[in-house]
Amino acid sequence: MVITYKEIREFKEEDLKQLFLSVNWESGKYPDKLVKAMHNSTHVISAWDEERLVGLVRGLDNGVTVAFLHYLLVVPAYQGMHIGEELMHRILRYYDDLLYIKIMPSDPKTIPFYEKFGFKQYDNYSAMVIKHF
C-alpha cells in the first residue's frame, strides 16, 4: 500500500464524513460544514490510500505570530502506519517562522504524540468550548 499526501482544500462531503465518523468525531455528522471549513482553512494536508481519504491535518494561522492545528485524524485501520507523524511533519514546515503553534488535544492519551514534536502543556490550562449543535 502506498499512501499519497495532498495539499488540497476541496473535498467531497462523503469522504470527510467517512473519515470523521471513523474516529467517532461528532463533526462528521455535518459534512457540508466540514467541506466549507476545509475550504476556509489556511493549510490542509490529507493522506490517501488510492481514492480513500485516510488522514487529515488542518492549520489555521494569521501568517505572523500564531497557528492553530485543528483536526489531526487518521482512520483507525491506518493508525500505527506513521501517517499522523507524516501529516504533522508536513504541516509544521509551514510554521517555522511563527512565534507560537498551538494545539488542543481532545484526548489526553494523545499528549505524548504531540510532545514528540515539541509541544508542551500549559500549567493549569484546559480548553473550553461552546457547542452550537
- The whole-model pTM stands at 0.91
User: pLDDT of 81-95, one tens digit each?
Assistant: 999 999 999 999 999
Q: Are 103 and 125 in contact (CB under 8 A)?
A: no
| SS3 state of residue 93 | helix
Report helix angle 31-39 to 13-22, nearest 10.
Answer: 110
Residue 131 reports pLDDT greater than 90:
no
Domain ranges of the chain: 3-115
pLDDT at residue 44 is higher than 80? yes
129 pLDDT band, cuts 50/70/90, is low
pLDDT given for residue 130 in this prediction = 59
CATH fold for the domain made of 3-115: Aminopeptidase (3.40.630)
Task: Please indicate whether residue 131 or residue 8 has the higher confidence score (pLDDT).
Answer: 8
Q: What is the pLDDT of residue 120?
A: 87
